[in-house]
Structure 1
Amino acid sequence: MNRDLVAEQRRLSSLPMFFVGGLPRSGTTWVQQLLNAHPALVCLGESHFFNDLVPTLTRAVELYGQRRAEGHDTWAPTVRGPGSAMLAPMMHAAFVALVQANLDGRDTAGLVAIGEKTPDNIMSLGRIWSTLPGARFVNVIRDGRDGAVSAYIRFRTKLPAEMTQEDYCRAYAEGWTKRIRDARALGRGRRYHEVRYEALHTDPDNAAGELFRFLGADGSPESVRTALDAASFERLSGGRKRGQEDSASHYRRGEVGGWAEVLTPAEVEAFETIAGPLMDELGYARAAG
């Protein structure tokens, strides 16, 4: 069947956009898979749109403007390059093109929103909302102690050899605190939604339903259950049950509270000394009471 690319592009251009982010190993991939399993949503995997493509396009436009201002290779009246205020429509079109390139056979007729997940989106909120003011943002929040354990195991081959797990807990706590606080501050008055990793475990139907409705999609029990089944840990991990560990897999254990079996008291203290106040605000109980 031949695709009508122009009609497809026109349809995608009319849809609201959303972006998903969070701390490393907070469950953003799980949320992306869950959203993409809903028939009315497209949520791309890690495209790094805002920390790769947008800066690249911006530099290209700036260079073009500079070359035109200098009259490079030009022997007649030339033009001005587009200013920064004119970039938003270009970025909107670029994201539509990115989604269109990754539809993988999806029909656009039933879609209500298109989006993308990159964890670093949480650090690009200013750029996201200055470029696409109407965009929605989903912040995936997980107990930072679980996040620190999972991230240290996943990334330790890329870390300095001398960095201990205690050092990493301290560094992760600093990033966890700053990024969540910054996102909450920027999200005030915006289309901003938080989804807890833990809630997707303990109350998945309500957590997923709220998430879908935030994005304008059907949050009925039937739609929620279908998406949850498609994005279950068992399916994503290739058949393992929650708690069965595969350190080489992106889906390592898929559980809540595993930090208590891994972190030493000193490592817990290193994290909680920094992140304790935000843990209290978010309702994560400190080990020290």
Structure 2
Amino acid sequence: MSEEIEAVIRRLYDMPVFFVAGLPRSGTTWLQQMLNAHPQLLCLGESHFINDMVPGLYNVLWNFTKSRKNPERTWAPGVVGPQLDHMIPVLRMAFASLAAANLGERDIGALRAIGEKNPDNLYHAERIWRVFPDARIVHIIRDPRDGAISGFTRFRARLSQDLTRTQYVAAYAKDWASRIATARGLAKDRPYMEIRYEDLHADTSARAAEIFRFIGASDDPSDVTTATEAASFERLSGGRKQGEVDPASHYRRGEVGGWRDEMTPEEVSAAERAAGRMMAAMGYEVSAEGLAAALA
């Protein structure tokens, strides 16, 4: 049995790798479900591999390396601990092992790439490319007004009770603009793709096919249909139609532009002041007053 597992891990180790990134409530889970439903892809949920397992394993290896340099801990002949170049293959093998543990009944012979989604991947793109230089990153971007309203509703119980929704909207929008700019700077000459949530929503099949091609998977219509239907809002939400709101559900509303009937004018202004320049550049509607405030 162990030999079979080792063979699977070795095969997964050699596969192309991809990561899904985006701020919370931007559609990362929807995209993960879609990718994972493609017959040629394995896309893990939030394992926090990059921001949890990688630094944890690195620290173990580095502490070992430091201990081997301590003459008081070495009697005779000692060893040189692994340096960074030696650690990288260990980290990659750990990801392959994680993928193997979550392979389930999938046909490994059909797989073309393995990946993981985590909003935190957006904060750790440089680390991703340090460990996996050829990794493809798919960054899903949503109108920060919709993202902020959804986030405040979803995470309210975890937030400070003193935090107002207007303050949350402003902070979310500011981080949204900053993270897009940072990701673009890091992604120069690297395999990086941006997809707007709204575009994926408007023409799911066409946009999904583009993502599959970018990752290296089939864009055959039958494969696209299989993936997109498995990740439909109705299926993921347990039968609700788009627009039928369940505040307690991870799949809350499934619509574009819901902020228009949920946000106060003060909240809209806060979002536009914080991110109006980037919103306009991304093709999102911004008032003249909001854009002027953002540029001031």
Mapping 1:43-54, distance limit 5 Å: 43-54=43-54
* Higher percent of residues as helix: 2
**Structure 2, unaligned stretches of length 5 or more?**
290-296
Select between 70-79 and 4-13 the one with higher mean Cα deviation.
70-79
Q: What are the superposed Cα offsets for residues 149-174 of structure 1, whole Å, 9 maximum, x if unpaired? A: 00000111111111101000110011
Query: Within 2, Cα distance between the matches of 1:218 and 1:3?
Result: 30
Residue number in structure 1 paired with 2:115: 115
Residue 4 of structure 1: how far off its partner (Å): 2.1
Residue number in structure 1 paired with 2:184: 184
State the AA in 2 paired with 1:165: R
Residue number in structure 2 paired with 1:138: 138
Select between 87-96 and 69-78 the one with higher mean Cα deviation.
69-78
State the AA in 2 paired with 1:245: V
Mapping 1:56-135, distance limit 5 Å: 56-71=56-71, 73-135=73-135
Query: Within 2, Cα distance between the matches of 1:14 and 1:58?
Result: 21
Query: Within 2, Cα distance between the matches of 1:59 and 1:72?
Result: 21
- TM-score between both structures, scaled by the size of structure 1: 0.97
Give aligned-pair identity as a percent: 53
Conservation of the 8 A alpha-carbon contact between 2:19 and 2:137:
yes
Corresponding residue pairs, total: 289
Residue 145 of structure 1: how far off its partner (Å): 0.4
Residue number in structure 2 paired with 1:279: 279
Residue number in structure 2 paired with 1:195: 195
Residue 7 of structure 1: how far off its partner (Å): 2.3
- TM-score between both structures, scaled by the size of structure 2: 0.94
Select between 34-43 and 60-69 the one with higher mean Cα deviation.
60-69
Residue 73 of structure 1: how far off its partner (Å): 4.9
Query: Within 2, Cα distance between the matches of 1:89 and 1:6?
Result: 15
State the AA in 2 paired with 1:188: K
Query: Within 2, Cα distance between the matches of 1:287 and 1:106?
Result: 49
State the AA in 2 paired with 1:139: H
Query: Within 2, Cα distance between the matches of 1:50 and 1:44?
Result: 12
Query: Within 1, Cα distance between the matches of 2:113 and 2:46?
Result: 17
State the AA in 2 paired with 1:176: W
Matched, 1:38 2:38: yes
Residue number in structure 1 paired with 2:10: 10
Residue number in structure 2 paired with 1:156: 156
Aligned residue for 2:151, secondary structure, equals: helix
Residue number in structure 2 paired with 1:249: 249
Residue 274 of structure 1: how far off its partner (Å): 1.4
